[in-house]
Structure 1
Amino acid sequence: MVGNAVDAFLEMQAAERGAALNTIQAYARDLEDMTGALHARGVSALDAGEADLRDYLSGLARQGLAPRTQARRLSCIKQYFLFLAREELRPDNPAALLDAPRLDMTLPRFLSEAEVTALLAACEAENDATPARRRRLLVARAALEMLYASGLRISELLSLPRRALDAAPGMMLVRGKGGRERMVPMSARARAAARALMDMDSARKSPYLFPGRGPARPMTRQGFDRILHDVALRAGLDPQRLSPHVLRHSFATHLLAHGADLRALQVLLGHADIATTQIYTHVMLDRLRDAVAQHHPLSGADGRG
């Protein structure tokens, strides 16, 4: 019965919430670990109580699992027991009051604006570059321009169809996490770089903007990482400091530094919850201090404040 309930929960996540395959697989592993631990205590998920779940979560900490891993597992458990209650497979929800472990606030890594400029300049091909080399650098240019112009996730970028640029002028249609679609602005520079790549790849007849070795499939994350590594070296940057996520953080950080607000950034990044976007508030601290110093009536330089 428990196995059937887990299968039903995973099917619901895929069908109703559009969860990605990696997410479904992670949930399956988490629930297998939990049900195994409960079975060792002589209980099942259908009759486990809050104390059983707290003991299980305490065991994760004793095993040395990172707080973020514990928090992810708790999120899965909460969703699962809520599902059981809603489906009337058990009369209560013993996970409702469980607390997530405290997470340290880690600031996202990002590049300076000068480093981004150097990275884009490194995508220019030499005069004697081979056609394959020119295309590789054109792929890099288009990808970097689009990542930095829009803050796309790498999974969103690599899965873009060629028709993605056919949206409203200056905009692009993106399918994000959970299958949610959003329109994101795309700069003229980024669109031009993407169009140049499309023109070069016209003979490939691929449905993807960034085709892989076989045109029927998109470029892999590993393939793009190799290109990014090469461009970082050409730009004089440490490749260990560079990743698609660092470019996403750079987009967000630089946007806030130039006056954007968190709500607008939330929409652009495709965050379902504003709390996720608030990791970038560190960028706003200096702006907030300056705003108070310049505009608050009691913050004058004559010492009255």
Structure 2
Amino acid sequence: MEIITDTPFRTAKRQRRITGGKLTGQKPALKMKEVWSIRARLELKKRVRDLALFNLAIDSKLRACDLTALTVEDVAAGGEVKTRGIIVQKKTGRPVQFEITEQTRVAIRNLMSRHYLRSSDFLFQSRLVSSPHLSTRQYARIVQGWVRSIGLNPATYGTHSLRRTKAALIYRKTGNLRAVQLLLGHSKLESTVRYLGVEVDDAIAISESVDL
């Protein structure tokens, strides 16, 4: 009798059936109304650092290790916040660019002014003497606090939820996986497909919207 062993494809397919179409352990992106709710609460409470951190996390789509290690000179020059930033990713060693929207520039400017930050300073400094900048663990706890504040389950969401949020929205609006791949800094398109949880149904729906 022929014994058929599981392949990664079969395993992933079974996981999607069990979890309603999502890969096990995948952190969902935030919805637009959830982004607005968190941002409004941070603005209302005048949480200067957290507002800059949240806005830049959404804009940049950076991994936690890269976001928390940003310096002022990565996002600003001559005292002015840039409209675009570029860094070399810690995980891949490859450069990635990101946009910095107007509301994020204002938040960063306020953060720099509040803490008198110099160009060589870390942007998101830790309150712990032993750490020169916010750690990924501290960032993860902050994210849990944000989602909890708007009634979401902090166990369901994580730092990758913020990284995935704008990328998922761009994909849904354009269907352009290559653009999302570049924005996320993935070296392979397959990584982007897995990261966004793109399925055959998604591809067909995009194809159906194009008339020739």
User: Which category of TM-score, normalised to the shorter sequence, fits these structures?
Assistant: 0.7 to 0.9
Aligned twin of 1:173? 86
Residues in 1 aligned to 2:156 and 2:106: alpha-carbon distance in whole angstroms: 27
Correspondent of 2:149 among 234, 254, 258:
234
Greater C-alpha radius of gyration: 1
The residue number in structure 2 matching 1:115 is 34
Alignment counterpart, residue 152 of structure 1, candidates 62, 80, 92: 62
- Alpha-carbon contact 2:147-2:157 (below 8 Å) kept: yes
Q: What letter is aligned with 1:141?
A: L
Could you tell me which residue of structure 1 aligns to residue 167 of structure 2? 252
CA distance in 2: counterparts of 1:101 and 1:287, whole angstroms: 20
Alignment partner of 1:190 is 2:68: no
Change (3 A) 1:222 1:206: farther
Alignment of 1:123-142 (within 5 A): 123-126=42-45, 134=46, 137-142=47-52
Structure 2, unmatched stretches of 5+, are 1-5, 14-21
| TM-score, scaled to structure 1 | 0.54
Map of 1:221 onto structure 2: 136
Q: 1:259 to 1:284 in 2, by over 3 A?
A: farther
- Give the structure, 1 or 2, with the largest relative contact order (CA under 8 Å, sep 6 or more): 2
What's the CA shift for 1:241? Answer: 2.5
> Structure 2: how far apart are the matches of 1:245 and 1:194?
21
| Per-residue deviation, 1:175 | 2.2
Q: Give 1:234 shift.
A: 2.3
Q: CA RMSD in A?
A: 3.1
Equivalents in 1 of 2:111, 2:117: separation in Å? 11
Change (3 A) 1:236 1:289: same
Structure 1 residue runs of 5 or longer lacking an equivalent are: 1-66, 68-99, 127-133, 297-305
Relative to the length of structure 2, the TM-score reads 0.75
Residue 204 of structure 1 contacts residue 215 of structure 1 at CA under 8 Å; is this kept in 2?
Answer: no
Report the alpha carbon displacement of residue 275 of structure 1 after superposing the two structures with TM.
0.9
Residue 270 (structure 1) aligned with residue 185 (structure 2): yes
Counting only pairs closer than 5 Å after superposition, residues 48-127 of structure 1 correspond to structure 2 as 103-104=11-12, 106-107=22-23, 108=26, 109-126=28-45
- Residues 104-124 of structure 1: CA distance to partner in whole angstroms, max 9, x if unpaired? 164442222211221211212
- Give the Å deviation of 1:261: 1.1
Taking the aligned partners of 2:74 and 2:199, their CA distance within structure 1 comes to: 31
The structure with the greater share of residues assigned to helix is 1
Counterpart CA distance in 2 for 1:179 and 1:293 is 37
State the percentage of identical aligned residues: 24
Aligned position for 2:18: none
The correspondence for 1:202, drawn from 116, 125, 129, is: 116
